Structure 1
Amino acid sequence: MFLNLLGITFIFTALGLLPIIYDIVRRKGQGVKKGMIIYLFFFICSFIFVYWMTPPQNLSSIISSNLTVAFLISLVLFFSSPIEKIAGPISGKGVRNFQFKGFGFPAKIPVLILVIGILFAAASAVLRITSINNVYDTIQVKKVSKTEELRSTEETPIAISTASARNKMRKMMSVVPNSNVYDLGTITAQNVDGDYVYVASLEFKGLTKWFKFRESPGYLIISATDINAQPKFVKSKMKYIPTAYLNYDAGRKIYSEATQYANVGAVNLEIANDGTPYYVQTLTKEYGISGITYFNRYKVALLNAVTGDVKVYDLKDVPKFVDAPLTSKVAQEMNQFYGKYGDGWWNSFFGQKNVKEPTDNGIYSNGAVTPLLDKKDNLLYFTDFTSPDSSQDSALGYSLINARTGVLQYYRDKKGMMDSDGAISVASKIYPEKKWKARMPILYNVSGTPTWVISLLDSNGIFKKYVYLSAIDSDILVDGDTAQGTLDAYRTQLATTDSSNNNVAASDLTEFSGVVRRVNLNTNGTTTTVSFLLENDETIFIMNTSNNLYSIFLEVGDTVSFKANVIKGQTTATVEDLTIQNVTPE
């Protein structure tokens, strides 16, 4: 690793030898020792920079680094060279006069390098702008017609906030040996053995503590769906972590094996099915003097935190246990680029047609995205988009980015939806006296209605309640203590309004027939709903009578047939196409 970094440093500083060689030749072999001392000083400084900052070994960084070093060395040679004196005529008193020509090293050299550097920077900027359309085309976009469906909390878990998870983990630190040495690292969401969990490594608090202990005792893990769950400490001696030093730093260890790639975001901890901890780093290749990157050319590095073994994979070849080979930083950058440059660079500043901005109400990458699992247990990054006009609070759509494939699913409701800022504002006003904070807004499809699912937290980040809020009608709102109970209550409220399953595909509706054993008619203002039970079925079927006027005549003993959106694990179902034998006209 050390020799590898020495070679990289030479590549970054080789151009600095040219002004030294030029000075030696100009002075006919003099100044060799001085020149080597100057170069060695800048080489050592550059080595420290490379070792500490781990810059990517690509054309853009190599050229900029070499120009910087060459410019600084030429300045040192200019100011340290002796002033040249030229012998003049002998005066009347027999004394020879001398004329001073100036510094020995010509000023045109550093000026020339500076001009080249400015031209290089300008060319890089121009090429980045002219490449925007090509970069935009590398985003794999899949436009969808409806939001991710929330069928049940078992199939699509709703995560508690990272603040709640971190608070609980800190209270569990007492079970960790020498807990005063460590602090919690970054919390990441992932699927471990079929469970949606949060994981956080134990990181060193400083150099002295790392120098004494040299390894972390393990990591903490907690359910991301069960608000009553407590964290568990898992023993696993980890030598290679982000807060270790020298060659045991996780980021530096990965860099030594992948110097030609640039890091995208920080390293994330992921746990294999056998409990082995790995650090995951998303990598990208920067091209040309502009250093542009493409959204479909990622690499992924895996570092075994126990052994230090590093492997670099193509995205399609990453082991299956890795839920997020693409870190949240990738999703953040992809969302920003997708929202801003759909109609080109010029339009992003002037006109701003179709320009949209991702909101900052997530929990990853400083609020850029929120993780969730879909029905197939794929980890997705969610964010919604709003208008650049701060006076508007309507959502222009939302995206779900697959953390394994990088495919961006984009949804936009033509009816107009409330954005996450508006949803948070509404949810925060439910209990104003408690001063609870609304966090983690995620948009789901509940019975065909775009719905914001929000967590209410107290000042310490402790979960208090769930809030389900219609994104198209803020009057439809339910809060509750459990995800399943709140979801059932919300679906019931949807059924008592004019909402219907018009966004639910016909294939998602189930056909029923049977004899009615219980009926309840409920009137709330101008809205009337009928609820009923069938014989040998515990599902509560609910229908708005405005969708079928004959439903108000439903009685116990009637034979009925209908279609309903029945969700596994839920006690209620919304009815469509109700037919009552001998009542409904044929």
Structure 2
Amino acid sequence: MKQTSGIDALLEALKQSGVNVDGRFDADAEAPSDGAGRSGGNGGGAKPPHVHMEVPFADRMAAWGKKALIIAAIVIVLIGLAAYWWFHPPINIHSTDTWMFVAVFILLPLFLVFWSKSHSYKAGTGKVEANPGKAKAFKFASYVPVAVAVLGVIGAIMSLSIFPGNAEKYANVLQTDTLDFANDIKEVNYSEIPIIDRDSAVLLGNREMGSIPEFVSQFEISPLYSQINYQGAPVRVSPLGYADLFKWFTNREAGIPAYALVNMTTQDAEIVKLGDNPIHYSQSEPLVRNIDRHVQLSYPFYMFDEKSFEIDEDGHPWWICPVQTRTIGLFGGTTINRVVLCDATTGETQDLAIEDVPQWVDRAYPAELLIEQYNWSGKYKDGWLNSVFGQAGVVQTTPGTDGSLGYNYIAKDDDVWVYTGVTSATADNSIVGFVLVNQRSAESHFYSVPGATEASAMQSAEGQVQNLRYKSTFPLLINVSNEPTYFMALKDDAGLVKKFAMINIKQYQYVAIGDTVAECQKSYQALLATNGVSTGDTETLGVLEAQGKIVHIAQAVVEGNSHFYVKLEDGDNIYDFALPGLIEIVGYKEGDPIAFKYVEAEPTNPVEEILAADGASAAATAKEAQATGDAAGNAA
């Protein structure tokens, strides 16, 4: 039996796998060889075999006639058009979706066709004769899609912040003004403050939806729940959607009959029926009336950002579709320059410049885009090198508790503003201030208020009710007696709001808890007064007056602050005089008469101000007496 060498076994394996192996070992194709396939010349060294690999796909394509190529081209075009209609990417050189679509459906097929034709003509196959000219032409053509892809990569590199000059551009995408908190943020109106978060709104909306059996069986509430200002109140709105494909087929002619509306202040939820003007364009539509497809095909060259569902002041439903523009390189520096308004009932659209957007529109700029833009300015304001190495003055928005972005919404001047804290680059447990950005105009304000982060405040609030295991919502920023304050709801495991908390941002150990907003407010302002913080207008606190003779006075230091505790002869109440705000108390002793204003609280009653015998403020009387004495001295 003939023994097979290792090289013979390798060649046989290559033949079995479809590789055409030319087994001649000589360098000259015309050199004679013996029957064993070895060269017969002068004992020259053996050359390795010439291996020719055939590509069946390339060979078949090379053998196609003109008719087959035309049919293939038509099929590819039809598939491309169908893919474009289904995926509807914008036709815009600045869109990454466009580049991905072109790469998958155009550049890759062209490269494969040109490369396979070049390969077949270069070496020749059983069906195609070798043709160096055609091989070279197709090889050159295969470089074209590669060159286009390389241009996209270059554009992406030119969009990076490390590219010269880009860091300054990123820092200036969003312009932020520094303002004073007490002057710019009005004191909170508790009848307008949103006391629940999105998750609670979803629970309330779904509960209300369950009370309408004919809707539950056919529709479900969309998870959007956009927060807007509606008729002066903060609300969340979300359209209904078809429950499944079969329910869409059954109800598509009649449309979607209602949307959910949840008042964030009163916690009232309702399903608003639209009567003869139902929603026909929505995200639950799978085909032509899908809102994303409808708007994109109507404006094929626009790049749309996150769409939101809103209602105007008459309760009519609209889709708000922000239009992106790129300001840095090919893909960088995203911002909004236009907004397309789409009537959810008729599908009619309005294309508006950002400055022409009507007042009732609240969400022209997506919240996460605004936070990203502010982070660019906080990171790159002193250049790219500083953002990576020195990081002097580098700040960023505070993260959420679950690793996502941490932000909330504030109603201000009939607009919705995105609120988030601002912390250092190391993301420690303190903030250097906070930022508000208008979602309609991108107007941005920074307020320098050092204090605790939202996550720290949430933990502090939860610590007050740790025995109940309530969880805190992400805080709202409010102004209480010119004190920047976190306000949050405390929810049980079922997601129901059980209590409310207020925490002073500067001194986050000042935590007030209440079963109602009014009770929480009263407890918080009493806490401020106890710690020597003036609470301003006392009428809203239910401030009382007391007077009598001091029967006991004692001094104590609480959390580093001095307090005088006083009892009067006609009661058992203990009154708390906090220093340095009420420094006049040091001039009183047991047996002295005293009059003052205080707030009822437990276990002590914080005093607001000390009154003189005629009912005026003792501090004001003392200043007036001092001024009179100084004037008399000058006259003498």
Interval of TM-score (by shorter of Structure 1 and Structure 2): 0.7 to 0.9
Q: Is the 8 A contact 1:427 1:467 kept in 2?
A: yes
Q: Is the 8 A contact 1:369 1:381 kept in 2?
A: yes
Question: Residue 441 of structure 2 corresponds to which residue in structure 1?
Answer: 405
| Of 80, 90, 115, the match for 1:56 | 90
Q: Is the 8 A contact 1:418 1:472 kept in 2?
A: yes
Distance 1:194 1:86, change over 3 A: closer
Looking at structure 2, the residues matched to 282 and 362 of structure 1 have their Cα atoms a distance apart, in angstroms, of 28
Looking at structure 2, the residues matched to 248 and 33 of structure 1 have their Cα atoms a distance apart, in angstroms, of 38
Q: Which amino acid aligns with 2:109?
A: L
Looking at structure 2, the residues matched to 524 and 457 of structure 1 have their Cα atoms a distance apart, in angstroms, of 39
Question: Residue 235 of structure 1 corresponds to which residue in structure 2?
Answer: 273
| Of 502, 505, 508, the match for 1:474 | 508
Question: Residue 377 of structure 1 corresponds to which residue in structure 2?
Answer: 414
Name the SS for the 1:452 alignment partner. strand
Q: Is the 8 A contact 1:452 1:471 kept in 2?
A: yes
Distance 1:243 1:64, change over 3 A: closer
What CA deviation, in whole Å up to 9, does each residue of 1:94-118 have, x standing for no partner?
Answer: xxxx879799573443245324422
Q: Is the 8 A contact 1:362 1:369 kept in 2?
A: no
Q: Is the 8 A contact 2:238 2:309 kept in 1?
A: yes
Distance 1:489 1:55, change over 3 A: same
| Of 449, 458, 462, the match for 2:483 | 449
| Of 352, 359, 362, the match for 1:313 | 352
Q: Is the 8 A contact 1:323 1:404 kept in 2?
A: yes
Q: How does 1:279-290 map to 2 (within 5 A)?
A: 279-286=319-326, 290=330
Name the SS for the 1:211 alignment partner. helix
1:260 aligns with 2:301: yes
Looking at structure 1, the residues matched to 110 and 122 of structure 2 have their Cα atoms a distance apart, in angstroms, of 24
Q: Is the 8 A contact 2:424 2:431 kept in 1?
A: yes
1:72 aligns with 2:121: no
Looking at structure 2, the residues matched to 303 and 326 of structure 1 have their Cα atoms a distance apart, in angstroms, of 16
Q: Is the 8 A contact 1:361 1:439 kept in 2?
A: no
Shift in Å, 1:372: 1.5
Shift in Å, 1:78: 3.1
Q: Which amino acid aligns with 1:164?
A: S
Shift in Å, 1:494: 0.8
Name the SS for the 1:443 alignment partner. strand
Distance 1:460 1:36, change over 3 A: farther
Distance 1:435 1:137, change over 3 A: same
Q: Which amino acid aligns with 2:177?
A: K
Name the SS for the 2:533 alignment partner. coil
| Of 233, 257, 261, the match for 1:217 | 257
**Scaled by the length of structure 1, what TM-score is found?**
0.76
* Higher RCO, Cα 8 Å, sep 6+: 1
Name the SS for the 1:432 alignment partner. coil
Distance 1:544 1:45, change over 3 A: farther
1:518 aligns with 2:553: no
Question: Residue 141 of structure 1 corresponds to which residue in structure 2?
Answer: 176
Q: How does 1:98-497 map to 2 (within 5 A)?
A: 106-129=138-161, 130=163, 131-146=166-181, 149=185, 151-154=187-190, 157-176=193-212, 177-185=214-222, 186-214=224-252, 215-226=255-266, 229-236=267-274, 237-265=278-306, 267-286=307-326, 290-293=330-333, 295=335, 297-361=336-400, 367-374=405-412, 376-389=413-426, 392-413=428-449, 416-497=450-531
Looking at structure 2, the residues matched to 348 and 32 of structure 1 have their Cα atoms a distance apart, in angstroms, of 59
Shift in Å, 1:85: 8.3
Q: Which amino acid aligns with 2:398?
A: T
Name the SS for the 1:248 alignment partner. coil
Shift in Å, 1:583: 9.5
Q: Is the 8 A contact 1:83 1:101 kept in 2?
A: no
Shift in Å, 1:280: 0.9
Looking at structure 1, the residues matched to 130 and 414 of structure 2 have their Cα atoms a distance apart, in angstroms, of 82
Q: Is the 8 A contact 1:38 1:73 kept in 2?
A: no
Q: Is the 8 A contact 1:56 1:259 kept in 2?
A: yes
Question: Residue 601 of structure 2 corresponds to which residue in structure 1?
Answer: none
Distance 1:585 1:542, change over 3 A: farther
Q: Which amino acid aligns with 2:158?
A: V
Distance 1:362 1:259, change over 3 A: farther
Q: Which amino acid aligns with 1:248?
A: R
Q: Which amino acid aligns with 1:249?
A: N
What CA deviation, in whole Å up to 9, does each residue of 1:265-319 have, x standing for no partner?
Answer: 2x21111122211111111223586133454x52111111111111111122112
Looking at structure 1, the residues matched to 491 and 158 of structure 2 have their Cα atoms a distance apart, in angstroms, of 47
Distance 1:287 1:39, change over 3 A: farther
Shift in Å, 1:573: 10
In structure 1, runs of 5+ residues without a counterpart are: 1-22, 88-97, 502-507, 532-540, 565-571
Distance 1:145 1:517, change over 3 A: closer
Q: Is the 8 A contact 1:142 1:410 kept in 2?
A: yes
Looking at structure 2, the residues matched to 394 and 557 of structure 1 have their Cα atoms a distance apart, in angstroms, of 42
Of stretches 304-313 and 542-551 in structure 1, the one that deviates more from structure 2 is: 542-551
Distance 1:426 1:310, change over 3 A: same
Distance 1:78 1:393, change over 3 A: same
What CA deviation, in whole Å up to 9, does each residue of 1:516-553 have, x standing for no partner?
Answer: 9534999784344799xxxxxxxxx9973522432567
The sequence identity of aligned pairs, in percent, is 20
Q: Is the 8 A contact 2:174 2:374 kept in 1?
A: no
Looking at structure 2, the residues matched to 323 and 362 of structure 1 have their Cα atoms a distance apart, in angstroms, of 26
CA RMSD of aligned residues (A): 3.9
Shift in Å, 1:493: 0.7
Question: Residue 16 of structure 2 corresponds to which residue in structure 1?
Answer: none
Shift in Å, 1:31: 5.0
In structure 2, runs of 5+ residues without a counterpart are: 1-57, 567-574, 599-605, 611-616, 627-636
What CA deviation, in whole Å up to 9, does each residue of 1:55-106 have, x standing for no partner?
Answer: 232233467755661342231343367834899xxxxxxxxxx879799573
Q: Is the 8 A contact 1:478 1:489 kept in 2?
A: yes
Name the SS for the 1:106 alignment partner. helix
Shift in Å, 1:46: 3.2
Shift in Å, 1:383: 1.0
Looking at structure 2, the residues matched to 548 and 354 of structure 1 have their Cα atoms a distance apart, in angstroms, of 39
What CA deviation, in whole Å up to 9, does each residue of 1:423-464 have, x standing for no partner?
Answer: 122122222232221112123332343322222112222112
Name the SS for the 2:220 alignment partner. strand
Q: How does 1:572-583 map to 2 (within 5 A)?
A: 578-579=618-619, 581=621
Shift in Å, 1:223: 1.1
Q: Is the 8 A contact 1:282 1:326 kept in 2?
A: yes
Shift in Å, 1:200: 1.6
Distance 1:411 1:496, change over 3 A: same
Question: Residue 536 of structure 1 corresponds to which residue in structure 2?
Answer: none
Q: Is the 8 A contact 1:287 1:293 kept in 2?
A: yes
Q: Which amino acid aligns with 2:442?
A: G
Distance 1:156 1:287, change over 3 A: same
Q: Is the 8 A contact 2:407 2:474 kept in 1?
A: no
Q: Is the 8 A contact 1:372 1:379 kept in 2?
A: yes
Name the SS for the 2:187 alignment partner. coil
Distance 1:434 1:44, change over 3 A: farther
Of stretches 517-526 and 195-204 in structure 1, the one that deviates more from structure 2 is: 517-526
Looking at structure 1, the residues matched to 79 and 296 of structure 2 have their Cα atoms a distance apart, in angstroms, of 19
What CA deviation, in whole Å up to 9, does each residue of 1:110-133 have, x standing for no partner?
Answer: 245324422431243224434342
Q: Is the 8 A contact 2:261 2:270 kept in 1?
A: yes
